[in-house]
A and B are shown apart, each in its own frame.
Chain A
Amino acid sequence: MTSAKDRIRLGADIGGTFTDIVLAVGPSGDFGDEKIFSAKVLTNYSAPEQAILDGIDIVIREAGVDRSDIGVVIHGTTLATNALIERRGAKTALVTTSGFRDVIEMRTENRFNQYDLNLRLPQPLIPREHRFPVRGRIGANGRELEPLDEAGVEALAAVIAEQAFESVAIGFIHSYVNIRHERRAQEILSRKLSVPISISAEVSPQMREFERFNTVCANAYVRPRMATYLGRLRMRLKDIGVNCPVFMIHSGGGLIAVETAAEFPVRLVESGPAGGAIFAADIARRFGLEKVVSYDMGGTTAKICLIEEFAPRTARTFEVARTYRFSRGSGMPISIPVIEMIEIGAGGGSIAWLDTMGRIQTGPESAGSEPGPACYDRGGTWPAITDADLVLGKLDADNFAGGKIRLNEGEAKRAILKEVGDQIGLDAVATAFGICEVVDENMANAARVHAVESGKNISENVMIAFGGAAPLHAARLCEKLGVELCLVPRGAGVGSAIGFLKAPFGYEALASRFTRLSEFDVEVVNQMLADLKESAERFVRAGTSRSIVREVTAFMRYAGQGWEIPVLLPDVPFDADAPVKLADLFRDNYQRFFGRSIDALDGLEIEVVTWSVKAMDERPGVERRELLTKGRTVEPSSFRCVFDPAVGAMRRHSIVPRGLLVKGDLVVGPAVVVEDETTTVVSSLFDAVVQNDGSILLIRKVRNT
């Protein structure tokens, strides 16, 4: 059964450079059952919602529907992530427990590289002079050890107002067990201040002050901008007649209400990329690909995510803005549920520059969409990756974004020579090649590190490449990683936005309740789980008419351990022997994770730390498809000179419009497959075969054995 609101759905993904809009018409399901209309519009920094409105007009015109026909809008954005990476957020004050002013600066007191004597640690998000201690203390068990210095908080309000802070974060010790001081300080400050105030026990109710404080600081840092933006977006959508519910995709790949997102914008960090991971997982499922590395390269960053057995890896804490060769520990921790991926400053808009030793470097600074790469001819003078791609012939100046943006190759060359080439004595093409090699190597390194951290071998994966810039670089990246198959799906240029529409209407309701099995109260637990089920389902019901599936999980550990393991529970009410059953389930899981459960300590207590109920609507089943690896060779009709890294020179490539390709067609590399949203480079080491659903599969010509 599908209702109207399931039928016409709009996905909107704001990236650092482009805003992607996707309209799906028809029942959600396999490609072919529904029609997809998409548009790519330059991101507008001063009014990010404008690009969405512009994009909506384009896709509804193409689809022949009205604005009021749209049943649901699902939105994700990297605005929050980029603000953290580029340190472009609000002037933020941290109000914290006296004696703990430097928690976010002292970090873990550890060096993330043991042997580098010249190590630099990342700067704290909020500098020391903007961190204000107040007296008052909660103890480890939640008892008040010292009352909150309310007069001190009042006095601070004046200082915060006087110094024109735009946002406030409150982080007090042990607030995750007792939120009262944080709440009270928030009340006092909000009486005197009109700026948003974020409190750590709400943003990230978890023990460990460094992670929690940093997460609340990040939330406060991006909040004013995000709240204003989301408010404006909703108003303007209403103004133009889009009256449907609006949901935000969150870091974990699920959906949340706009109101929640405006208060907790840190949960939107990585929401765009999360959509991309869902998109790739969906494709992996269709083709039955069990080991996939998704590669999503947009205008500002590249995202790499491992997808095993059709599910992206997830985590409860992650790091953004890693500063040191993508090493763990070199970024800032954010403790929220998240799809685990690695993100680096390597996008089409990333700027190339020379370091003090005369070596080419790329990113993380981005030309963004305003002014954009030099070739956009909008006043940009710094050479971006897109400029290098253009100079190497990978892009066609007259047919970029379906001819909507005319690229100026002269400007691209000028910028490349002025900022890079002239200083190291290279011509424009050689410099452009150097720039692309550096960015490709950076991405390959990031992918390897990510795989290694997960204990995997990157070359065994099938790559799924999407995002506007990925298909331009995917073949070369595969060469560097030893990956032999790469799928460029239909809609590759707007993958994240399509992924939003594939996201299950899901909600995870969590309750942190220490429950020792020896003190297990069956009725209390059953009631709590019933409440969690109720609230999770209520949320999901609002967004779907499909049937709902549930997953009940207890996060358990031996009392005294610091970390829990998830234990999947049967979704039925507990009875009197629940403690015994739970203990058995836990020991089995523990043994599976760690080899041996602990049996020498008779009576070693087992406890549940967090209970979780996940509810989501049931997705329709998909038909498995086989990968086609052979096909009929297509005779190209036109050619263009494109740089071939394998021979190190410009070389004739076939030019094949994707629109003319049908399933089973084989394109022999070197070739360039062109379409409105993106361009796929089939390097001289690869061929390409068009799949049943229109995806392009890049296949390494000579398989290494």
Chain B
Amino acid sequence: MRDIGEIRMQVMWNRLISVVEEQALTLLRTAFSTSVRESGDLSAGVFDPQGLMLAQAVTGTPGHVNTMAEAVLNFIREIPREAMYEGDTYVTNDPWKGTGHLHDITMVSPSFRDGKLVAFFACTAHVVDVGGRGFGADGRSVYEEGIQIPIMKFAERGEVNRDLTRILQVNVREPRQVIGDFYSLASCNEVGHRRLVEMMDEIGLSSLADLGTFIFSRTREAMRDRIKSLPKGSWSNELVTDGYDEPIKLMVKVAILDEDVLVDFSGSDPMSRWGINCPGIYSKAYASYALKCVVAPDIPNNAASLSFFNVVSPVNVLNAMRPAPVALRHILGHLVPDLVFGALAQALPGKILAEGAGALWNIHISVRPAAGREGRRAEVLMFNSGGMGARPGLDGLSATAFPSGVHTMPAEATEQTGPIVIWRKELRPDSGGDGEFRGGLGQIIEIAPDDGHEFDFSAMFDRSQHAPKGRAGGKEGAAGIVRLDDGTKMRSKGWQHVPAGRRLVLELPGGGGYGDRANRSAAARAEDRARGYIVEGEV
């Protein structure tokens, strides 16, 4: 009976998603770095033996998922089938073959059942250090950004490659956290593999081929319908961002065709001298993400749904080539959705949200005892979010990661990792762009070295000179501000110093507003006042 068969396929599909979800949760539970265990800067997925992504975990972030979907093909290309054994795990942090910068470790494990290769499990996570200059934009080439691990075996037949772990031990600043995270990445694939084999044993499946066909054909049908219902044509947009020491212009042309959507980054600025360049796979990941949010938010993400989005670009800052420095590729990557939305807003007026903070305000802090004092050294990484743009019909979300899918770290967990004190982390009043619907608020963060310590920090901030724009008549959100508590202005990119006794103050951008402010309801304005979302300015 066709119906019953179909229901069983659907159950198996759901089951597969729960297998990868468990894979991702294992990574969260075993990881050492706060970026993984508290923030979920990771992704996990299951692939068929050809390397096509069948399902991704709900937990995770788009920049990883959509890049990892391509990365697995690179592993298959470089490790011949006859060199794959049960118990193997492969690894790389190659920005162009993995997920865009050296800090992301991608691991792929073949899954064998009764000696037959039935699937691959892959996962990616951001580790706290990879040596080199540390996490920042100051490297002049990828060689300065840290240790490069080409595609190789982390474990063969269950035996960990001790040569690799010994090399890591002396090349990274926090070897315990980093090597610990390598182990937890491998574990998470192992857990996915075990659950998959259990599922296949239970159902009596010898391969995932039929299930894959079902998943891909269902997805393709649904995607085709969605693309069909879109207006056809071609629309362009331009977005200027802070850059490192000079503004950078991003350009896009989005063409909605009969069968797919084509995104072209021609016209964007050339590669930067600084580590804010974006490898093509990462720009593509976020362009696909933006399109999917608008076109098919409810269709599962897999190789078939991703195949409807094609992204091309000449070599430029959104398609940087080796050996360009790419450590902070996420900043421009996170602005790609706003760039794409600006084009889509012309195709779908009244349907697209305003610009938001976009890029996470990540900060890497390298803390040490002040001269002549006793204390601890530590590397501390924090992810923080500004406001999201207002939506047609809804205010923007305040202090919420978008387009990234990470969580912030609890301040308490961050302070456990190193001698810093977070004195403030709360909403930033008056930062949401006005409009019929208000942009989400940014946040204010104050961080000081603990007594007797000082720190250097790597600034990875944007939208400090180019505020998020409103849409449909909405006002722009507040631009970001970086300073010390004594008023000293700081730069939004690069390594800088905070002496003992001073506090670093970050004011994160708010989202742009949507629609004419004259149409905002009196009730909404009264609430903004009562809650202190709006303190200054006219009523």
Contact = CB atoms under 8 A, between A and B. Distances in A.
Interface string B277-298: 0000000000000001110011
B446 A99 contact: yes
B524 to A, nearest CB: 14
A257 B301 CA distance: 50
Contacts of A595: 186-187, 190-191, 194
A600 B297 CA distance: 42
Contacts of A560: 32, 176-177, 180
A99 B425 contact: yes
Given A117-B297, A455-B195, A209 B399 contact: no
Contacts of A98: 424
Nearest to B415: A140
A447 to B, nearest CB: 12
A458 to B, nearest CB: 8
A419 B191 CA distance: 50
B297 A209 contact: no
Interface stretch (B12-20, B472-480, B492-500): B12-20
A399 to B, nearest CB: 37
B22 interface: yes
Contact of B399 (A106, A210, A562): A106
Contacts of B187: 594-596
Contacts of B427: 101-102, 105-106, 128
A594 B412 contact: no
B421 A459 contact: no
Contacts of A173: 411-412
A56 B87 CA distance: 63
Interface in B163-198: 165, 175-177, 179-180, 183-184, 186-188, 190-191, 194-195
B292 A115 contact: yes
Interface SS, A side: loop
Contacts of B408: 106, 108-110
A109 B399 contact: yes
B420 to A, nearest CB: 9
B530 interface: yes
B29 interface: yes
B176 A604 contact: yes
Query: Interface residues of B toward A: which range?
Result: 35 or more
A549 interface: no
Nearest to B34: A562
Nearest to B168: A600
A117 B531 contact: no
B14 A99 contact: no
Interface stretch (B136-144, B261-269, B389-397): B389-397
A208 B297 CA distance: 31
B407 interface: yes
Interface residues of A, number: 59
Given A118-B393, A129-B532, A563-B30, A101 B426 contact: yes
Nearest to A208: B410
Interface string A86-123: 00000000000011111101101111011111111100
Interface string A690-705: 0000000000000010
Interface string B421-448: 1111111000000000000000100100
A116 B391 CA distance: 11
Given A99-B425, A108-B407, A558-B32, A452 B18 contact: yes
Nearest to B395: A120
B424 A99 contact: yes
Interface string A278-318: 00000000000000000000000000000000000000000
A111 B405 contact: yes
A118 B389 CA distance: 11
B428 to A, nearest CB: 10
Interface string A557-590: 0101111010000000000000000000000000
A601 B402 contact: no
Residue of B62, B183, B294 with highest tally of chain A CB at under 10 A: B183
A109 B385 contact: yes
Contact of A457 (B11, B37, B401, B411): B11
B242 to A, nearest CB: 21
Contacts of A208: 410, 412-413
A599 interface: yes
B394 A561 contact: no
Contact of B165 (A115, A117, A139, A600): A600
B38 interface: yes
A51 to B, nearest CB: 39
Nearest to A133: B426
Contacts of A174: 412, 415
A127 interface: yes
A322 B180 CA distance: 34
Contacts of A355: none
A561 to B, nearest CB: 6
Interface string A244-281: 00000000000000000000000000000000000000
Contacts of A101: 426-427
A230 interface: no
B111 interface: no
Contacts of A454: 18
Contact of A704 (B4, B14, B158, B162): B4
A102 B179 CA distance: 35
B155 to A, nearest CB: 8
Interface string B1-42: 000100100010011011101100010111110100110100
Contacts of B188: 594
A145 B421 contact: yes
Nearest to A206: B412
B180 A604 contact: yes
Contacts of A129: 530-532
Contacts of A459: 11
Contact of B450 (A117, A118, A139): A139
Interface in B50-100: 58, 62
A563 B36 CA distance: 12
B147 interface: no
Interface string B500-516: 00000000000000000
B317 interface: no
A594 B294 CA distance: 37
B412 A140 contact: yes
A173 B58 CA distance: 30
Contact of A117 (B18, B175, B294, B385): B294
B307 interface: no
B426 A209 contact: no
A322 B398 CA distance: 20
A324 to B, nearest CB: 13
A119 B397 contact: yes
A34 to B, nearest CB: 39
Contacts of A137: 421, 423
A108 B190 CA distance: 28
B37 A561 contact: yes
A596 B426 CA distance: 40
B384 interface: yes
Interface in B448-463: 450-451
24 contacts: A100-B411, A101-B426, A105-B398, A106-B426, A108-B408, A109-B383, A110-B401, A110-B406, A121-B400, A128-B531, A174-B412, A207-B416, A208-B412, A455-B15, A455-B21, A456-B18, A558-B32, A560-B32, A560-B180, A562-B31, A562-B413, A563-B37, A565-B29, A598-B180
Interface of A: 98-103, 105-106, 108-111, 113-121, 127-129, 137, 139-140, 145, 173-174, 176, 207-210, 448, 452-457, 459, 482, 558, 560-563, 565, 594-596, 598-601, 604, 704
Top 9 A-B pairs ranked by shortest CB distance? A595-B190, A99-B424, A115-B297, A140-B415, A562-B37, A594-B187, A108-B407, A109-B408, A600-B165
Given A109-B408, A115-B298, 5 more contacts: A102-B427, A102-B443, A105-B398, A110-B40, A111-B405
